[in-house]
Amino acid sequence: MTTPAKSDKDRVVIFDTTLRDGEQCPGATMTHEEKLEVAELLDTMGVDIIEAGFPIASEGDFAAVHEIAKRSKNAVICGLSRAAPKDIDRCAEAIKPAKRNRIHTFLSTSPVHMKYKLQKEPHEVYEMVIAQVTRARSHTDNVEWSAEDGTRTEFDFLCRCVEAAIKAGATTINIPDTVGYATPSEFGDLIAGINAHVPSIDQAVISVHGHNDLGLAVANFLEAVKNGARQLECTINGIGERAGNASLEELVMALHVRRSYFNPFLGRPAESSEPLTGVRTEEITKTSRLVSNLTGMAVQPNKAIVGANAFAHESGIHQDGVLKNRLTYEIIDARTVGLADNRISLGKLSGRSAFRARLEDLGYSLERDDLDDAFARFKELADRKREISDRDLEAIVSEQVQQQSEARFLLRGVQVSCGTGLRPTATVTLETSDGAELTEAAIGTGPVDAVCQALNRLARVP
């Protein structure tokens, strides 16, 4: 794939927030090792900026951002922070080892957020914007400022805050549709309005961030691009808070497939074949599978680009058309997103190498023993089922993948005492990976709670 154009103004910058906003979605928590694995793949995939976490949120988040920053190769590593100086300083510390880093600092600007969440007057918020950006700039020259709940912010106030943030040194201005409320034409008009009314806007890149509460996030972003937005904040498989974020694969593929439509909005000739983003589209399927496997969040089968049915033709009429000429019903060649074209259909006659190759396409790379085990289970299933689907393969290997992370503790003993007039008490003994035994006792509201309290105490032991 050719290198995209140099300036951030004449191409679309892809800012991935799978590890921050994506991880905010219920049940999507990843371990430290898993976050490193996702970050590595995102970097390989050509994402421009990886928002690796929210360092002040926990020691775990700090450690993940710090390690990702150390290991990053090409991508800018970004951390999120609120407006408080200690948040910003902690974020700066976490991203410090990266070759290229960014602080993303945000503050709410809508009337409802200022009144109820921040309990601040607009003039106080305005001063905080200047202070937060100034502090972030004292750590790095790459600072993004976000107007949280931007789409419900009063327009003149939003423009004043954006101008103040740029004057204080923000290099990217992000306009979030935090509650997924905007419609495409409104969102496009908002971006056009900011472009037209903020005097210093040409000194910053305009970014958009949006949630999918009305299913409009991707459409909103594409309209924003047409009106001057040049950074898109998105997640793999669209995971994220509530209904999720705009999905990376849908945005990248829309800009890829409909390049000639979008080119003129970026000042390029319609027929230019230069990619609009730097993402290696062939890595999309693998990355989607990895995120789905690690978070346990299944991708709906009819999800655009990465759903199991996205490239499947079921009806006889469609199959017939595709066999005559694939352009009849296909707008994307499956190979563009990293799917094998003439997929080898896996069945009982398939060998180990076809099995391993298919697993690798799906984002699994198993050690020899795990592969042997998975292959035996595959053969067993193939005896009963004519064709083995990707879903079957995922089920076959998921056990091995989950077992790959090394156990940190072994449960050695649990003792609980409870009864009439007794306070439920539990004593728990764990063995650490270096063989030491740790014991803690705790009182709880019931026997199970007492065990959990004892485990919590043990987890706090350094």
Beta carbon nearer to Zn ion, 54 or 364: 54
Within residues 18-47, the interface with ligand KIV by CB under 6 A covers 21
**118 forms bridges with which residues in the sheet?**
none
What tokens were used for 432? 């650490």
Shortest Å, Cβ 288 to Zn ion: 20
Site stretch for Zn ion (CB under 5 A), options 19-27, 38-46, 386-394, 397-405: 19-27
Shortest Å, Cβ 146 to ligand KIV: 4
Beta carbon nearer to ligand KIV, 17 or 453: 17
- Residue 146 binds: one of ligand KIV, Zn ion, none (C-beta under 5 to 8 A by kind): ligand KIV
**207 forms bridges with which residues in the sheet?**
174, 231
Q: How far apart are CA 175 and CA 188, in angstroms?
A: 11
Beta carbon nearer to Zn ion, 21 or 250: 21
Beta carbon nearer to ligand KIV, 17 or 227: 17
Please compute Rg for the chain using Cα positions: 25
In 3D space, the residue among 144, 178, 177, 136 whose CA is nearest the CA of residue 162 turns out to be 144
- Residue 187 binds: one of ligand KIV, Zn ion, none (C-beta under 5 to 8 A by kind): none
What sign does the CA torsion over 70, 74, 79, 83 have? Answer: positive
Shortest Å, Cβ 126 to ligand KIV: 18
Shortest Å, Cβ 104 to Zn ion: 11
Question: Does the footprint of ligand KIV cover residue 238 (CB under 6 A)?
Answer: no
Residue 144 CA to chain centroid, in angstroms?
18
Q: How far apart are CA 326 and CA 324, in angstroms?
A: 7
What does each C-alpha distance from 98 to 78, 380, 389 come to in angstroms?
9, 47, 40
Beta carbon nearer to ligand KIV, 179 or 252: 179
Shortest Å, Cβ 42 to Zn ion: 17
Size of the site for ligand KIV (CB under 6 A): 8
Shortest Å, Cβ 426 to ligand KIV: 39
- Residue in the block written with tokens 């309005």: 193
- Residue 231 binds: one of Zn ion, ligand KIV, none (C-beta under 5 to 8 A by kind): none
Shortest Å, Cβ 341 to Zn ion: 36
- Residue 228 binds: one of Zn ion, ligand KIV, none (C-beta under 5 to 8 A by kind): none
Shortest Å, Cβ 80 to ligand KIV: 6
Beta carbon nearer to ligand KIV, 64 or 396: 64
Within residues 101-130, the interface with ligand KIV by CB under 6 A covers 106
- Residue 106 binds: one of Zn ion, ligand KIV, none (C-beta under 5 to 8 A by kind): ligand KIV
Shortest Å, Cβ 326 to ligand KIV: 39
Shortest Å, Cβ 26 to ligand KIV: 15
Q: How far apart are CA 92 and CA 21, in angstroms?
A: 19
Question: Does the footprint of Zn ion cover residue 21 (CB under 5 A)?
Answer: yes
Q: How far apart are CA 145 and CA 198, in angstroms?
A: 15
Residues 133-152 vs ligand KIV: string with x where CB under 6 A? -------------x-x----
Within residues 248-277, the interface with ligand KIV by CB under 6 A covers none
Beta carbon nearer to ligand KIV, 209 or 286: 209
Count Cα neighbours of 267 within 13 Å in the Cβ-side half-sphere.
Answer: 9
For the packed helices 284-295 and 248-257, what is the interaxial angle rounded to 10 degrees? 170
Question: Does the footprint of ligand KIV cover residue 207 (CB under 6 A)?
Answer: no
In 3D space, the residue among 222, 216, 209, 214 whose CA is nearest the CA of residue 178 turns out to be 209
- Candidates 209, 230, 286, 303: give the one binding ligand KIV (CB under 6 A): 209
- Region of residue 267 (left: phi > 0; alpha: psi -120 to 50; beta: else): left
Within residues 175-204, the interface with ligand KIV by CB under 6 A covers 176, 178
Task: Return residues touching ligand KIV (CB under 6 A).
Answer: 21, 106, 146, 148, 176, 178, 209, 211
Task: Return residues touching Zn ion (CB under 5 A).
Answer: 21
